[in-house]
Chains A and B, each alone.
Chain A
Amino acid sequence: MKSIILQTATRYLLPILLLFSFFLLLRGHYYPGGGFVGGLVASIAFVLHSFANGTESTMKILGYKPLSLIPIGLATSTVSVTVPLLFGLPPMTGLWFEEPIPVIGMIGSALFFDIGVYLVVIGVVLTILFTIALND
C-alpha cells in the first residue's frame, strides 16, 4: 500500500505522535495516564510509518530490534521498584528529588517506572506487529 498522501502525512505525524506520547508519559506523574498509553501512542506512530513506507524502512529508522527494548524497560522498572529498599523503605515507595526540573517538573522513582513500562509496551507491540508483518 503506497499512498503519497499517507506518506506525506506520516512524515509530519511521526514526530508529533512521538512528542505526544512523550507528553503522555510525563503526565503520568501525579495524574492518571503515563507509560502504558504513551508507549501505545509511540508504537502507533511507528506502525503508521510502517504502513506508509513498509516494515523494512521502519526497522531501519528504529536501528535495532524492538525486542531488545523489553529487557531494558523491565530492568528500568524493576530497579525503580527496588531502589527504595536501599533507603529502608518498602519496595515501590515513591522517592522524589528535592528540586523541580524545568519543563518536566518533579522527578521521582515513579517516572522511571513509567519509562520502563513505556519501553516494554513499545517493545512488545512492535515485536508482535513486525513479526506478523514480516511473515506475510
Chain B
Amino acid sequence: MIDNHILAPIFVQLFTAIIQLICWRKTVTQRYLSVGGSLIGLMVAFRLFGRVQESGILTMNAANWDAPFGIVFVADMLSVTLVLLTSIACFAVSLFSSVGLSRQRMLYGYFPIFHFLIMGLHGAFLTGDIFNLYVYFEVIIISSFVLMTLGGRKAQLEGAVKYMAMNILASMFFLTGIGMLYGITGSLNMADLSIRIQEVQNKALIGITSCFFLIGFGIKSAVFPLYYWLPSSYHTPPSAVAATFGGLLTKVGIYAMLRVFSLIFVPDDFIRTLLMVIAVFTILTGALGALIKTNIRRFFSYLIVCHIGFMMGGIAMFSKVALMGAVFYLIHDIMVKTNMFLVAGLIRQLGGTMDMSKLGGLYRNYPKISLLIAIVLFSLVGIPPLSGFWPKVFLFQEAFAQHQYFYVAALIIGSFITLYVIANMWVQVFWKNIPPSAETENLFAPMPPYKKILMVLPIGLMALVTLYIGLNAEAIVKIADIISTQLIDPSAYIDAVLGNKTD
C-alpha cells in the first residue's frame, strides 16, 4: 500500500534541526525546540506505527519513480518498531541533555547535530534501497563524529580517532559490497535484489559479497573481533551523547544485518556457522571485558558488546523463534542501554565521578532514585518478570532445538556475568559507604528543583517503557512474531514494494 507520509518522522527531525540552526547560539530556544520537536516526532512515530499495524506494509516511491527504478521507502513492522523506539529514546535523551550538558557544548551546535543523527537513524530504518541505506549510514556517522568530538578534551579526541577510523573502514567495506552487488545484479532496490540474487549462478561470488556486508555491519555493531573501538571511545563523550550512541548506533548495525541477511543473502550453512562463532566469542569477550572494568561507563560499553552477541546468535540460528528472540532482545536492548548511559550520567551528577571504587552510599542518600535505577538494572540482567528475561526464553529454546550448545553456554555465562557485574555495581555504588579517602562532590544537590526533575524524568520515562515491555510481554511477543514472520518470508515485503506495478 502506498502512503506518501511515511517519511514524516524524518522531516520532523530535519525541520527541528534546521530551525535550531537558525537559532544558532540561542541555547535556551534550542532546548525548547529540541524537546518540542522530539515530542512531535514521537507522536508522528506512534501514528505511523498504528497505521502499519492496521494496514500492513506501507511504501513510498520517492519523486514518484516506480520501484525498482527510483528510491523506495518501506515501513514494515520492523522499521516502524525501531522508528518508534528511536523516537522514545530521542525524547528521553533530549529531555536529559537539556539539563545534563554544559552550555559550551550547546553553543557549538549539539542540538542540531543530535537531531540530524536521529534523522539519519529514522532514514536508515525506513529506506528500501541499499545505497540509500549507505547514505543514511554516512549521515549517522558524520553526525556522531561531531557529537563525539564536541568539547574537544584530549580523551575525547583520542576516542574519536579510533571511532572514526573503524567506522570509515566499515563504510568502505559496505560500499565495496554494494558495488559488487550492483555489478552482479544491476539493481539497488532491496526487494528487487532479493528476486534477482536467486537467479545468479555464481554462488561463490555472492558468498564473498555477503562477507563484505558482514564485515561492514560487524564493525558498526561491534562484534568480535572488530569491537575494540567501542569500549575505547564510548566512555569519552558526555552521558547524553553516550546514551544515544550506546542505545541506538550499534543497533543500526544489527538492523542492517537483519534486513540484508533476511532479504538478500539468506544465510547458508557457512554464513550461519560464521555468525554463530562470532556471536559466541562476542558474548564471551564482552562479558570478560565487563568483569575487569571499574569505570561505570566502560563496563557498560563492554556489556553492549556482550549483548550484541545475544542478537547475533539469534540471527545465526535464523529460524522464526530465534528471530523472535533477536527482535525482542533488540527492542528491549534499545530502551535499556539508552537508559543505562543516562543512569551513568545521573550517578556522575550524584557522586561527581564514574569510578566505582570512589562512589558509595547513594542508596542511603537517594532511596527513591536508587529504586528507579534498580528497575533499569534488573531489566538489563533479565530478572524474570522484567524485559531482559523474555527474549532469552526464545533464544534458549531455539538454541536447544538446533543443538547449539556452545551458544547456550555462552548465553548462560553472558547472563551470569551481567548479573555479577550489575550486582557488584549495586553494592559498590549504592550500598557501600563512601570510601573515606575519596573526595566526592555532589553536583546534584545544588541544582534547582526543575533541573532535578528534568534529569530524573527521562530515566523514569524509559524505565516505564521497559516495565511495559517486561510486564506486558505478550504485546511485544505479538509484534516480534509479526516481524519475524516478515523476515523469514520476505514475499510480503517484495509484494509491497514491487507488486504495485500491476495495479
A residues neighboring B (CB under 8 Å)? 67-68, 70-72, 74-75, 78, 82, 85, 88-94
Contacts and interface: CB of A to CB of B under 8 A. Distances in A.
Interface string B148-169: 0000000000000000000000
A78 B14 contact: yes
Nearest to A74: B18
Contacts of B64: 89-90, 93
A92 to B, nearest CB: 4
Contacts of B19: 71
Given A82-B11, A91-B60, A91-B62, 17 more contacts: A71-B18, A71-B19, A71-B22, A72-B22, A75-B18, A75-B22, A78-B11, A78-B18, A88-B4, A89-B4, A89-B64, A90-B4, A90-B60, A90-B61, A92-B62, A93-B64, A94-B63
15 contacts: A67-B24, A70-B21, A71-B19, A71-B21, A71-B22, A74-B21, A78-B15, A78-B18, A89-B4, A90-B62, A90-B64, A91-B60, A92-B62, A93-B63, A93-B64
B58 to A, nearest CB: 12
B83 interface: no
Contacts of B21: 70-71, 74
Interface in B55-88: 60-64
Interface string B22-66: 101000000000000000000000000000000000001111100
Main secondary structure of the interface of B (DSSP, over half): helix
4 closest Cβ pairs, A-B complex: A71-B21, A92-B63, A93-B64, A71-B22
Contacts of B61: 90
A75 B63 CA distance: 18
Given A67-B24, A82-B11, A91 B4 contact: yes
Nearest to A88: B4
B5 interface: yes
A78 B11 CA distance: 8
Interface residues of B, number: 16
B446 to A, nearest CB: 35
* Most central of A67, A85, A90 by chain B CB within 10 Å: A90
Nearest to B7: A91
A20 B19 CA distance: 31
Interface string B122-156: 00000000000000000000000000000000000
A88 B2 CA distance: 11
B24 to A, nearest CB: 7
Contacts of A75: 18, 22
B142 to A, nearest CB: 12
Contacts of B60: 90-91
A109 to B, nearest CB: 10
A74 to B, nearest CB: 5
A71 B24 CA distance: 9
B500 to A, nearest CB: 12
Contacts of B4: 85, 88-91
Nearest to B72: A90
Nearest to A92: B63
Contacts of A72: 22
Contacts of A71: 18-19, 21-22, 24
Contacts of B14: 74, 78
B71 to A, nearest CB: 9
